[in-house]
Structure formats: structure tokens, C-alpha cells
Amino acid sequence: MQTVSENKCFGGVQGVYSHESEVCGGEMTFGLYMPPQASRGPVPLLWFLSGLTCTHENAMTKAGAQAYAAEAGIALVFPDTSPRAAEAADDEAFDLGKGAGFYVNATQDPWASHYRMWDYVSDELAALLFENFAVDSDRQSITGHSMGGHGALTLAMRLPGRFKSVSAFAPIAHPTRSDWGRKQFSAYLGEDETAWREHDSTLLMHDLGFDGPVLVDQGGDDQFLDLLMPEQLAEAMTARRQHGTFRMQPGYDHSYFFISTFMGEHVRFHAEALGVA
């Protein structure tokens, strides 16, 4: 692992690090904020998974999460959204290939050799963090935006016991029925739609639910509402009587202005579940 940069931030350290990823077949970069409390021992960890076209840098610099994390004593990790190796397959479209890993393990050529973002987030990067930084593997929560909200919800529901809480900003909520999902799942996972089901948070909410609290914020003026299909997730949460909250926020769009407005509430939501509120 190499240190790309480290900057003092709200009494802690905002770092950027790179490492060779076995599962993604090349160098990967991630951001990690360590709050000042980490100097005294392991702290809880909040994952932030980003959306289409993003890298580790977008949420790290735009979401405004570090101030709230420093107050609560929570570490923040910002993974990349796809493999970045020169030889990794790519596509001219913004919503397929680099920047659009969709947090799945691809099974189809030419994607399968590098696009294993599920294993990268759930196993490889997690192990690297616990080995090298003062973060507590028993106290993790997860959040994300858009494609990353999809990833956060599916990881939380399919890995019971891993995360104390899950939240999402404008998640791609029903990808098996949306153009943001069907296109990518066809490419990465093949045409057998039964393989897609385990990556659809609406279907997983019906089938599994989450063993902790859920918070979802959706902008009422989001320009991608028809692709996100938030009403499907809200209905599934209601049908399951899931412990959670779904909020439509009038006037807000899909941007980081929306995320930064409610970021403090999300960090405090996770802090309570992690026992540091």
C-alpha cells in the first residue's frame, strides 16, 4: 500500500492510498478519513459508495462528511467505483465500464477478469483497512449515492450481521426494471435475469430485509427519478414493515448539493447505530 496524500482535517487525517488489487487486477485507490479519536484506539467505520462516473474523490471532497465524522469519532472510507487498470475493459458510454462497476462480480467477457467490485468492497479492501488502520471490524455501517446507494443497500442486506445500519441517497432502487441496471446487468452478469435478483434492493427488501435501521433520502426534483424508481423500494419497505425511514425531500435534485445538505443527519443516524452518538 502506498500513501498518495495525507492532510489534517477537523483534527483527524484525510488520506488517499493506493494498492495492488488482486480481485480487480491492478492498482486501486481509496480515500480514508481517520478522526482524531483514532489516536486513542480503534474507531467505527462508515463506508461511502459513490455513483456513476465517480472515483474515490467525489464524495471525499464534496459530501462534507468529515466534520460530522470527527464529531462522532467515526472513520470514513471512500472506495473507487470500478477497476482502473489500463487493460481493464471499458465502454464509450458513461454508464458502463470504468466508473460504472455497479458493485457486482462480473461473470461475462470482457468484464469478468477485472470487474469484481463486490469482492473488492466486501472482502479485499475491508481486510486491508482492518490490517493497516485503527478501525473496528465489529462496528461498521454503510451508505452511498445513486449507483453507490444501490451497492450499499445490496451489500447490507446480503451480508447479515456485517453492518449496524445502512442509508442511501437517491439509490438506483429497482435496477432489474430500470435502464440503469438492465443494461449493466446484461453486460456484466449475462442474460439470465435470475442472476440479477441478488443485486436489486427492492427485491432483496421483499426477500430478506435488513437486520438493522435503514434511512433513504430521495430528492423530489431528482432529474433521474424514472430511472431510480424509489417508490418501488418504499413500497417494499412498507410491505416488509422494515425498521427504517424513507424520505422524499422536496426541491432537491441528484447532485452533491443534495447529499451535503443531509450528510450530517446520515452520519448521526449511523453514529447512533454504532453506539457513538
Name the average pLDDT for the chain: 98
pTM, to two decimals: 0.97
35 close to 73: Cβ distance less than 8 angstroms: yes
Angle at 232 between CA 228 and CA 238, to 5 degrees: 135
What does the radius of gyration of the chain's CA atoms come to, in whole angstroms? 17
Angle at 81 between CA 92 and CA 176, to 5 degrees: 75
Catalytic residues: 146, 222, 254
Rounded distance between C-alpha atoms, residue 119 and residue 122, angstroms: 5
Burial of 179 (0-12, 13-18, 19+ CB in 10 A): exposed
Is the pLDDT confidence value at 141 over 80?
yes
Banded model confidence at residue 211, pLDDT cuts 50, 70, 90:
very high
pLDDT of residue 276: 94
77 close to 125: Cβ distance less than 8 angstroms: yes
pLDDT of residue 86: 95
pLDDT of residue 109: 97
Q: What is the 3-state secondary structure (H, E, C) of 53-99?
A: CCCCHHHHHHCCCHHHHHHHCCEEEECCCCCCCCCCCCCCCCCCECC
Banded model confidence at residue 238, pLDDT cuts 50, 70, 90:
very high
pLDDT of residue 134: 97
Strand segments (E) across 22-163: 26-34, 43-49, 75-78, 135-144
Cell numbers given for 260: 451535503
pLDDT of residue 277: 76
What is the amino acid identity at position 134? A
pLDDT of residue 21: 98
Q: What is the mean pLDDT of residues 153-158?
A: 98
What tens digit of pLDDT does each residue of 11-26 get? Answer: 999 999 999 999 999 9
147 close to 191: Cβ distance less than 8 angstroms: no
48 close to 77: Cβ distance less than 8 angstroms: yes
Identify the CA nearest to 209 among candidates 248, 244, 172. 244
- What ranges do the domains of the chain cover? 2-272
Rounded distance between C-alpha atoms, residue 74 and residue 269, angstroms: 12
What tens digit of pLDDT does each residue of 24-70 get? Answer: 999 999 999 999 999 999 999 999 999 999 999 999 999 999 999 99
Is the pLDDT confidence value at 231 over 80?
yes
Q: What is the mean pLDDT of residues 196-225?
A: 98
Residue percentage of the chain with pLDDT more than 70 = 100
With residue 205 as reference, give the H or E element that holds it.
helix 201-207
Statement: 2-272 belongs to CATH 3.40.50.1820: yes
Banded model confidence at residue 121, pLDDT cuts 50, 70, 90:
very high
